[in-house]
Chains A and B, each alone.
Chain A
Amino acid sequence: MTAPATHGAATERRGLALPSSIDGTLVTLVLGAAILWFAPAGMGRYGTYVLSLWLVMSIAVMGLNLTLGYAGLKSLAQAAFMGLGAYATALLTSKLGLNWYAAFAISGLLTFAVGLVLGFPALRVQAHYLAFVTLAFSTLIWLILRNEQWLTGGVFGLSNIPRPSFLSVKLDGALEFHRFVVVVTFILAAALWWMIRSPWGRAFMALRENPVRAASLGVDTRMYTLLAFAIGSAYAGFAGALYAPLVEFIDPSPFSLSQSFFLLLMVVAGGSGYLLGPFIGALLGVVLPEWLRVVGSLYLIVFATIVMLLLIACPQGVSGLIERGWAKLTGKAGGR
């Protein structure tokens, strides 16, 4: 275009806010990883385990955040995908003696592929059909985990799941394994950070806001929708691959449909569409109830009620609240 470019060049670059907040995310990730590396000092075995569990669940919530928070798709099978990854890793490492890293990769690939197979027919119709197909899938996986005793051990589950080693270092101790989880979580979070700020991330957000317009601008909505769902599901698979050696024993109960609902609530509580939201969501959903043992099963009700109130007052979750608070403090205009 030969039209004058002076306007563009003369425009004052007020773009500082955006890059700095994005780099702020990366800085937070690095700092967080460093703190968590040393955090378990003096926390004991159980405290360390809870921290590791928090990170593992955060990975699953991160994946769902990509599917729901960035691309606007309802998946009701995140816990089932996590179960797929956990059982695949447990079987491959304990029964076949496969190396954990290979099992981890296979779990990710398997859940990615299953995501594509499920997503394709559902998204062909309408985005909300994905909710129903994943609902059905979730129930099917649960039935298989419970009924195929020869493979999954049924309700008794699988035990003696070995922990991996790194180079020649055995990671059997709680602290060593925790540090391993910190590193894997950091790598997965950084990869997601990169994806979200790449043109892919922009396309995902366009899908959420207006798929029809996005398509008219050349965005292959079918491909991006499938990718968002399949990658989100693969993160659940990765989370499962870490979960199995972390708890060393798995049974079907943490992979039920209600758990998938619960993971969705964690996404919303933390702040859907915020990269760090999943860590906050999993903190509220997984760590707090461990610390607040006295409240017992009432915690689930309290948590769900908090999420409902958040949805009314601030649909952007705790991240949104923090952002609003920050905006008020610094006197800048708020909003995502």
Chain B
Amino acid sequence: MAEFIAYLIAGIATGAIYALAAIGFTLVWQTSQTINFAQGEFVMLPAVLVLLAIKLFGAPIWLGALIGIAAFILIFGAGFKLAVVDPMIKHGVLPLAIATMALSIIMKEGAKDAFSAEAQNFPSFVPTQTISVFGASISLQHLAIIIVAFAVIGLLQWFVGGTRLGRQMQATAQNPTVARILGIPVERMVLLTFVINAALAVVASALISPIYLAKFSNGEVIGLFAFIAAIVGGFNQVRGALVGGLVVGIVDSMAAAYISTSYRLAVPLVLLVVIILLKPEGLMGRKEERRV
């Protein structure tokens, strides 16, 4: 039982990180029909940029972090929207999706060539100790991840539901045409979702890198799990992405512990297929009508 609790906590911790990536993915999908196949690389890169800033400029860690994060949000939040999405969306959703695949290759190979092909340590802001709760030894890092991730998601929920700007953004996500008629600056709202996506990726990166290290290929698994989380939870719901992320994180952690380490990746994939077969609108999703 103690062991089970420890795995559960670990699963919730990684799940919360997947949820951050999945929420960003869903937001961007809702506002601009962008299926971002580079989402995993978005989470991989901030940590690499921070380490790169430290390595190149010999900057202290806080300055490195600041430079890395600012550069990332600027380039992959606003820049991504303006330089990739805007010129491409007029050709349709398909070319844009493929462009994000090209982007994922550029980010991954770029990180490998400019930084390192090997995994690098990323500093943790929390001591790597475990504490004992009811006999279960729980990692402080995992607890910190859960606290930070949920705080960020709570903040986002408050922003979306409780502020004027947030409500405008939500209206844009739900129906851009109506939002435009209501006088909401739709373009700026779409841009805002991209910036939020980049910021969420930064948080996810900072949380996951101390555990899984910073490596150019990390994005593959993170991206895959973010997609699965988004679909399992319900493609069109922020709440769904949260639930999906947690489910995928816990399933992954349990699979690694109790099924097989070499096939741990397969279990969430099976979950995905089961969801598509039985409840394609996702756990939290509503059935979408086919529209003409």
Contact = CB atoms under 8 A, between A and B. Distances in A.
Does a CB–CB distance below 8 Å link A and B in the complex?
Answer: yes
Interface of A: 68, 72, 74, 121-122, 124-126, 128-129, 131-133, 135-136, 139-140, 143, 146-147, 212, 257-258, 261-262, 264-265, 268, 297-298, 300-301, 304-305, 307-308, 311-312, 315
Given A140-B269, A143-B263, A297 B112 contact: yes
B269 A301 contact: no
Contacts of B54: none
Output the residue of A68, A262, A268, A301 with the most chain B CB within 10 A: A301
B231 interface: yes
Given A129-B276, A136-B273, A311-B99, A258 B113 contact: no
Contact of A132 (B88, B102, B272, B277): B272
Interface string B108-135: 1110110000000000000000000000
Contact of A136 (B91, B92, B105, B272): B272
B106 interface: yes
B122 to A, nearest CB: 23
30 contacts: A121-B276, A121-B277, A125-B276, A129-B231, A131-B35, A133-B273, A135-B224, A136-B269, A136-B273, A140-B266, A143-B266, A212-B292, A257-B224, A261-B37, A297-B109, A297-B112, A297-B113, A304-B105, A304-B106, A305-B106, A307-B99, A308-B84, A308-B99, A308-B102, A311-B88, A311-B95, A311-B96, A311-B98, A312-B87, A312-B88
B189 to A, nearest CB: 23
B292 A301 contact: no
Nearest to A265: B102
B103 interface: yes
A305 B106 CA distance: 7
A79 to B, nearest CB: 13
Contacts of A265: 98, 101-102, 105
Contacts of B104: 261
Interface of B: 35, 37, 84, 87-88, 91-99, 101-106, 108-110, 112-113, 220, 224, 227-228, 231, 262-263, 265-266, 269, 272-273, 276-277, 280, 292
Which of A133, A136, A258 counts the most B-chain CB atoms under 10 A from its CB?
A: A136
Chain B facing A: main interface SS: helix
A127 to B, nearest CB: 10
B42 to A, nearest CB: 15
A288 to B, nearest CB: 16
Contacts of B101: 261, 264-265
A315 B108 CA distance: 23
Nearest to A267: B98
Contact of B109 (A257, A301, A307): A301
Given A132-B276, A304-B106, 17 more contacts: A74-B94, A129-B231, A132-B227, A136-B224, A139-B269, A146-B262, A147-B262, A297-B113, A300-B105, A301-B105, A301-B106, A304-B102, A304-B105, A308-B99, A311-B95, A311-B98, A312-B87
Contacts of A122: 276
Contact of A258 (B96, B220, B263): B220
Nearest to B96: A311
Contacts of A307: 98-99, 102
Contacts of B265: 139, 143
Contacts of B109: 297-298, 300-301, 304
A311 B85 CA distance: 11
A129 B35 CA distance: 11
A257 B91 CA distance: 25
Nearest to B281: A125
Contacts of B272: 132-133, 136
B88 A121 contact: no
B226 to A, nearest CB: 11
A122 B277 CA distance: 8
B269 A261 contact: no
A74 B220 CA distance: 18
Contacts of B103: 304, 308
